[in-house]
Structure 1
């Protein structure tokens, strides 16, 4: 048994230092806070992703990306938020959903509790982008105004949008199609069943300022109901996952990691 006097006093964090909060002791957290006050919080949901992808896609992606960021830049990686706002996916079994109010309160409380033990900046890595962006924007505002935490909302699609636009193959990537399938092929190929992937085209036309594409002409807020989704897709995905590749996924992941590292490094240098 050792006492506190044997603990390291070196505040220089190295890539070998622990960063996964769930695997650390409170003393290791205390040591880590000598060299970082930034927390990466993967936020997703558990919902249907077609015939070819697992229910946990929206958590697997941000957690794995957060891990790569924490390996390179000074930040701690929190356990992920597994349940989010997914009422539009309840037309298929396996989907869980929370009300907007419950979700916002839960994420806010998680971050506020981290603030009490020394975290000053939180980056919400949103793997369920588009669908729960509005809720997380409210969370960021409350964390900043009510809890004094420098909070940021980072939807993955925004982080890799420029690269995705350049290298995409399919015309539409809305849900469980080219982007998400490619990222999963890069990060967790053992969980992807490409032999079950099917192309599902969205309606030929959408209303002005809206589009069934993650990089589309989405200029106004709108949402789909479970009934809408049930009419749109027999499989659960919208778009063409058959064109997905691990190479595309690697480029998207690299772009997201690079952008997040720039933010974390700037926060820690501030």
Structure 2
């Protein structure tokens, strides 16, 4: 259920009677190569949150579309400072708690948001912090096969004619992978490891694969949230 479809009296009754779980989706606005829109992370996490809410009877809040994305400089990004994302999330959580919400899920759709989300205190609040790519077997990427397939399954904004292979780590040693991973998370580091802003190879992505990934992610998230 989408909170935007609710009215105050019925929502307060719902809180008292059902004690609903609330999902806060968090995405980003940043480059995703030449073939995916800058809204990709927010688009994907919004869709996953909606499907999870429908499957489990949860209520989903509007997506926080801005994240921590300075690693993509000088490629386009609209980035919050980590402490500001933390403040925004804490304020939303505090508001939910004041309104007697007992269970909250922060559903993350962008790797750069991990640290500020992980630093949120949960000792006095029932808050789960989940990143959706941890609930699929396939190794994740950035504008590569996985993200492009997911976007093909949920959006008509993908331009496969412009899809090009980016950084592929197959064949690299563990030490080389660690160095690249570290560099890619530093401010301005991502374009240093992949000039076209793509991590992976999107050229073989399909809508069918995206639908399969979505089903896997939502199924595994539901198991985690209902355990």
What is the TM-score when the length of structure 1 is the normalising length?
0.76
Q: Is the 8 A contact 1:200 1:233 kept in 2?
A: yes
The C-alpha deviation readout for 1:29-61, integer Å capped at 9, x for no partner, is 213222133111111111111101111111111
In the alignment, structure 1 segments of 5+ residues that lack a partner are 1-18, 166-172
1:155 is matched with 131
1:70 aligns with 2:57: no
- Residue 202 of structure 1, CA deviation: 4.6
TM-superposed CA distance for 1:198, in Å, is 0.4
1:134-162 superposed Cα distances (whole Å, 9 cap, x missing partner): 221112xx1x22xx2211111111011x2
Report 1:89-128 matches (<5 A).
Answer: 89-93=72-76, 95-128=77-110
Q: Find the partner of 2:159 among 193, 204, 209.
A: 193
In the other structure, the counterpart of 1:170 is none
Report which of the two structures shows the higher radius of gyration computed on alpha carbons. 1
CA positional deviation for 1:239 = 1.3
Q: What root-mean-square deviation, in Å, do the aligned CA atoms of Structure 1 and Structure 2 show?
A: 2.3
CA 1:200–1:223 in 2, change beyond 3 Å: closer, same or farther?
closer
Q: Distance in 1 between matches of 2:93 and 2:3?
A: 13
Structure 1's 212 and 195: CA in aligned 2 closer, same or farther, altered over 3 A? farther
- Asked if residue 55 in structure 1 is aligned to residue 38 in structure 2, the reply is yes
Deviation at 1:208, TM superposition (A): 2.1
**What is the SS of the residue equivalent to 2:38?**
coil
Q: Say if 1:37 and 1:118, in contact at 8 Å, map to a contact too.
A: no
2:106–2:127 Cα contact (<8 Å) kept: yes
Describe the shift of the 1:114–1:228 C-alpha distance in structure 2 as closer, same or farther (beyond 3 A).
same
CA 1:40 to 1:233, structure 2 compared with 1: closer, same or farther past 3 Å? same
Three-state SS of the structure 1 residue aligned to 2:62 is coil
Equivalenced residue count is 225
1:117 deviates by 0.7
Matched, 1:208 2:169: no
Q: Which residue number corresponds to residue 119 of structure 2?
A: 138
Distance 1:223 1:198 in 2: 19
